[in-house]
Amino acid sequence: MSGWSTSDIPDQSGRTVVITGANSGLGAETAKALAAAGAEVILACRNAQKADVVAREIGSAATVARLDLADLDSVRAFADGLTGADVLINNAGVMAIPLGRTAQGFEMQMGTNHLGHFALTALVLPKITGRVVTLSSGMHQMGRIDLGDLNWDRRRYRRWRAYGDSKMANLMFGKELAVRLAAAGSATTSLIAHPGYAATELQGKSGTVEDVFMNASNKIFAQSAAAGALPSLYAATSPDATNGTFYGPTQMFGSRGAPGISGYNKRADDKAVRGGLWTTSEKLTDVGFPI
């Protein structure tokens, strides 16, 4: 897969792909590339106005649907309205933001990045015929799942640790979903991807002086959002992408370059924690998986 790019995406004619957070950054670039390859794309976004701009750029292959992952009522409404799709790409996320709470009281990063996508995947899984791709991050390395305080109700809030926790949860969820789908004999597969260091609107929202440095670093060191979308596109479309595998850039310690199999922190393979995260997530969201 050396040098894999958007020109290597197989023909996607007749396929439908749901992409969360496709109003900007990685999600928008993912939607554009898939539509260019022939797919119908559903831009599932909280900010429908921004998504409309992307949809107009794409053309008739794009549809906008409102989805606020920080509100499980919105997640259920979106799932009820989805008739079916070949691929679900769990792309949306927030990063290193001040302490906030979702509509159901979850810590905002865990609630949006993991719990919202967990509930969404469970609710739409019977309508997905091909793949579920969940985005994690290299920052999963700093994540440690605290099953006793997943939503930072008792711990002193640390925004970067909370982000790392949510990205570890994404990786664990994607891997656990793969195991359960395979055990059930399902034709649907679960894959995980990360963008490396890509310049997107995700950065610069911490509300601290760090934003100045992140914005400057984006301009100097980061690859483009289009390049950062390649691992997601590979996971979503390549016939060589396999169930349960984590994909990311292959150059400069996984920060940029063509997509390939990515290394990860082996804490993600802890079956007891993964199972506990799954059970806790089902309990918190009141959503069970039809597997």
Q: How far is 270 from 213, CA to CA, in rounded Å?
A: 35
* Contact between 196 and 223 (Cβ < 8 Å): yes
- The pLDDT of residue 221 is 56
With 0-12 / 13-18 / 19 or more C-beta atoms within 10 angstroms meaning exposed / middle / buried, residue 206 is middle
CB atoms within 10 A of CB 276: 16
Closest CA to 43 of 116, 77, 92: 92
Closest CA to 5 of 236, 229, 266: 229
* Contact between 285 and 117 (Cβ < 8 Å): no
Query: Which structural domains are found in the chain, ordered by start?
Result: 6-281 (3.40.50.720)
* Contact between 246 and 118 (Cβ < 8 Å): no
CA 208 to chain centre: 25
Structure tokens at 278: 């799954």
Residue numbers of the chain with a pLDDT score lower than 70? 1-2, 201-222, 253-254
According to the 3-state scheme, what is the secondary structure of the chain? Answer: CCCCCHHHCCCCCCCEEEEECCCCHHHHHHHHHHHHCCCEEEEEECCHHHHHHHHHHHCCCEEEEECCCCCHHHHHHHHHHCCCEEEEEECCCCCCCCCCECCCCCEHHHHHHHHHHHHHHHHHHHHEEEEEEEECCHHHHHCCCCCCCCCCCCCCCCHHHHHHHHHHHHHHHHHHHHHHHHHCCCCCEEEEECCCCECCCCCCCCCCCHHHHHHHHHHHCCECHHHHCHHHHHHHHCCCCCCCCEEEEEECCCCEEEEEECCCCHHHHCHHHHHHHHHHHHHHHCCCCCC
Residue 278: HSE in the Cβ half-sphere, 13 Å Cα cutoff? 22
- The pLDDT of residue 91 is 98
Which amino acid, residue 196?
G
Q: How far is 246 from 233, CA to CA, in rounded Å?
A: 13
Structure tokens at 201: 């609107």
* 216: Cβ contacts below 8 Å, ≥ 6 apart: none
CB atoms within 10 A of CB 19: 32
Which amino acid, residue 283?
K
* Contact between 12 and 32 (Cβ < 8 Å): no
Which amino acid, residue 54?
V
- The pLDDT of residue 153 is 97
Question: Known catalytic residues?
Answer: 163
- The pLDDT of residue 218 is 47
Q: In what order do the strands lie in the sheet with 256-261?
A: 62-66, 40-45, 16-20, 85-90, 128-135, 189-193, 246-251, 256-261
